[in-house]
Amino acid sequence: MTDLLQIGGITPRMEAALADRFDIHVLFDLEDRQAWLAENGDRIEAILTNGHHGVPEDVALATPNLKVVSSYGVGYDAIDAPAFAARGIKIAHTPDVLNDEVADTFVALWLAVSRGIVVADRFARSGAWEDGAFPLTRSVQKRRVGILGLGRIGEEIANRIKCFRGDVHYHSRSRKDVDYTYHDSPAALAEAVEVLVAITPGGPETEHLVNAEVLKALGPEGILINVSRGSVVDEAALIAALQAGEIAGAGLDVFAEEPKIPQALKEMENVVLLPHVGSATHETRAAMGDLTVRNLLSWLKDGSVETPVPECRHL
């Protein structure tokens, strides 16, 4: 059977689908990782990983005969795709199957921040309602909403904004053939809108794309939602902007050093925090697992993968 290195956990459903086709070695179960890689790394032809763990450098160096990497997740910034593509290694991920869930998570965070849902829940549970009404909040209707990264998920977010009769604006690496208003920089986008949602890929090219300048442009009534990667937002600048009242609030599903969240963010009532659960439903995770497996089985059958990352589509 083909040797497969598993990085991170997989579901029983995924394991059952792969067990009779691959000899699976679980990286994090190895007592002496370096010794095992030195002795067995050249046997590894396939890797199954996820967007968080990616492929560590020591694993990449120790697997000279690697042919394919199948990642459970749409983001692949923890995988050096250009370097693998240069080696002729196919990289697959799981786009599209999680678009709806992440877009719905944006809506949940937007509503939670704008309408003070989390604070109102505590208010009701505490009995404070008996002493007076909860303060008024802000409507989500007819807002100008800026999408930073109009890809597949960004398009789904735009569809949801329209359900609230919102005005969609966007910035991406290139202008799209859409009816939404384009802005040529993140700062220009932020200045034009009341709500800014980050849904761009992670990695060096987008690190701190939302910085102090962008946050100041968003303004004291503005709300930031991040359902992309923690690296996209300058966390220190965000904390400073929130503390200074330069923006009104934030809804965050991702963070710079997950699972660690800065204490300052935890203490702010105008910030809603989620533990990176944008795609975390039973249905979507099952679909992601099935696609991760299909990519490996497709490669085993004819050397192709169903959903290659852009850098590897020519392979």
> What are the beta bridge partners of residue 86?
none
CB 103 within 8 A of CB 253: no
What span, in angstroms and rounded, lies between the C-alpha atoms of 32 and 240? 43
Catalytic residue among 25, 183, 229, 285: 229
DSSP summary character for residue 54: -
229 is catalytic: yes
93 is catalytic: no
- Given the candidates 3.40.50.740, 3.40.50.720, 3.30.9.10, 3.40.50.300, the CATH classification of the domain at 2-97+282-312 is 3.40.50.720
> One-letter amino acid identity for 119?
V
Range with lowest mean pLDDT among 31-35, 179-183, 203-207:
203-207
What span, in angstroms and rounded, lies between the C-alpha atoms of 55 and 71? 9
Give the pLDDT score at 313. 84
How large a percentage of the chain has pLDDT more than 70? 100
Give the pLDDT score at 3. 97
How large a percentage of the chain has pLDDT more than 90? 93
Give the pLDDT score at 22. 97
> One-letter amino acid identity for 111?
L
What are the extents of the domains in the chain? 2-97+282-312, 99-273
Give the pLDDT score at 312. 82
pLDDT-derived band at 140, boundaries 50, 70, 90? very high
Q: Which residues contact 166 (CB under 8 A, 6 or more apart)?
A: 140, 141, 142, 143, 144, 145
Give the pLDDT score at 123. 97
Fold matches, 2-97+282-312 and 99-273: yes
pLDDT-derived band at 249, boundaries 50, 70, 90? very high
Instruction: Give whole-number Cα distances, 18 to 8, 44, 285, 308, in Å.
Output: 15, 15, 17, 19
Q: Strand 68-72 to strand 144-148: parallel, antiparallel, or no bridges (unpaired)? A: unpaired
Q: Which residues contact 116 (CB under 8 A, 6 or more apart)?
A: 134, 135, 137
CB 167 within 8 A of CB 182: no
Sheet holding 22-26, edge to edge: 22-26, 2-6, 46-50, 68-72, 90-92
- The count of other CB atoms within 10 Å of the CB of residue 233 is 27
Report pTM. 0.90
Give the pLDDT score at 191. 98
At 173 the three-state DSSP class reads coil
CB 226 within 8 A of CB 201: no
- The per-residue b/e assignment along 16-54, b for 16 or more CB within 10 angstroms, e otherwise, is ebbeebbebbebeeeeeeeebbeeebeebbbbbbbbebb
What span, in angstroms and rounded, lies between the C-alpha atoms of 243 and 236? 11
Give the pLDDT score at 258. 94
Give the pLDDT score at 311. 87
Taking residues 162-171, report their average pLDDT: 98
Catalytic residue among 39, 205, 258, 283: 258
What span, in angstroms and rounded, lies between the C-alpha atoms of 272 and 252? 6
Catalytic residue among 25, 93, 183, 276: 276
Placement of tokens 């597949």 in the chain: 152
- The count of other CB atoms within 10 Å of the CB of residue 217 is 20
Give the pLDDT score at 221. 98
Structure tokens at 242: 């929130």
- Which of 51, 6, 45 is closest to 303 using CA atoms? 45
Taking residues 195-221, report their average pLDDT: 96
CB 270 within 8 A of CB 295: no
Name the average pLDDT for the chain: 96
Give the pLDDT score at 239. 98
156 is catalytic: no
pLDDT, tens digit (0-9, with 9 covering 90-100), for 76-119 = 989 999 999 999 999 999 999 999 999 999 999 999 999 999 99
Query: Does the structure show a pLDDT above 90 at 184?
Result: yes
CB 146 within 8 A of CB 183: yes
Give the pLDDT score at 277. 96
Fold type of domain 99-273: Rossmann fold (3.40.50)
At 130 the three-state DSSP class reads helix
